[in-house]
Structure formats: structure tokens, C-alpha cells
């Protein structure tokens, strides 16, 4: 589904969006990440389950390909070198931690994502980001 959305976004014909199976018709939060030649080329998503998962993936794949403000839009000639990843998020839960060490002890690398918020700003780290950290 994400691949077909990206192909259509860059002007390459692809199959129409499929009929949503029940699991894809339920609201869910998701992110779509695009890498070209192993480098990030787009990543957009939502931490709130505001639309059916299938519709969210279709929209987020298109937007990650063309509208990530941090990166140039994906081009059709890059498709053969492109990897897509869809992350479906479970509802967030607060992690009570008194300090940095308690927070790190509570996190499960490769399984937990993390939203950090301070001063009116927030950052999200998806579970696969653990592979990129020292």
C-alpha cells in the first residue's frame, strides 16, 4: 500500500488503493519512513490515531515522498533505490522516571519509541532509531 502510494505520488502508474481489510480500517497512529541509498529521504507520521490505518499509510507515504520539509521530494528515478518502512504505533504511555538513568533503565531498545517534550517542543524517536544510536 505504501509503495503504491509513493509510486503514484512521483507520477509512476501503480495499482489503485486496495479495499481496506478490517485491521486497516481501524484508527491507528503511524509513520512512513523513506530511505534512498540507505539515507533518509522522508519521514512523516502522527502519534495520534485520528484516521483509519490504511488511509493514514496512503496519505503519509505520499507526504513523506513529496512533503517532508526537511528533505527534497523523492523523484521517480530514485524508486529502484528506495526502501520504505511503515511503523504502526501503539498508544503512548508515560514513563515515570526521576532522572536520566531511571528513564534509560525503563526503555526497551528496539521495542519502545520515545516522545520527549520540553519548552513547547517535542521530538519523537521511533523504535528502529535504537539501531542508529551508540
Which residues are within 8 A (CB) of 81 and not within 5 positions of it... i.e. 6 or more apart?
36, 37
Residue keyed to cell 520527549:
116
Q: Tell me the pLDDT of the chain (134 aa) as tens digits.
A: 899 999 999 999 877 777 778 889 999 999 999 999 999 999 999 999 999 999 999 999 999 999 999 999 999 999 999 999 999 998 888 887 888 899 888 888 888 888 888 899 988 888 887 676 65
Distances (CA, A) of 11 to 118, 132, 133: 40, 32, 35
How many structural domains is the chain composed of?
2
pTM of the model: 0.84
Domain span holding position 26? 1-91
For residues 111 and 71, membership in a common domain is answered with no
Within this chain, do residues 83 and 108 fall inside the same structural domain, yes or no?
A: no
Amino acid at each position: 500500500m505504501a509503495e503504491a502510494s509513493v509510486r503514484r505520488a512521483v507520477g509512476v502508474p501503480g495499482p489503485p488503493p486496495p479495499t481496506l481489510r478490517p485491521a486497516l480500517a481501524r484508527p491507528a497512529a503511524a509513520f512512513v519512513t523513506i530511505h534512498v541509498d540507505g539515507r533518509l529521504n522522508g519521514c512523516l507520521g502522527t502519534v495520534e490515531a485520528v484516521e483509519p490505518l490504511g488511509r493514514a499509510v496512503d496519505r503519509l507515504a505520499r507526504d513523506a515522498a513529496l512533503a517532508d520539509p526537511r528533505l527534497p521530494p523523492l523523484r521517480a528515478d530514485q524508486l529502484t533505490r528506495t526502501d520504505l518502512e511503515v511503523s504502526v504505533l501503539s498508544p503512548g504511555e508515560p514513563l515515570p522516571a526521576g532522572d536520566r538513568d531511571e528513564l534509560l533503565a525503563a526503555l526497551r531498545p528496539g521495542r519502545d519509541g520515545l516522545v520527549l517534550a520540553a519548552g513547547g517542543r517535542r521530538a519523537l524517536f521511533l523504535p528502529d532509531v535504537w539501531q542508529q544510536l551508540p
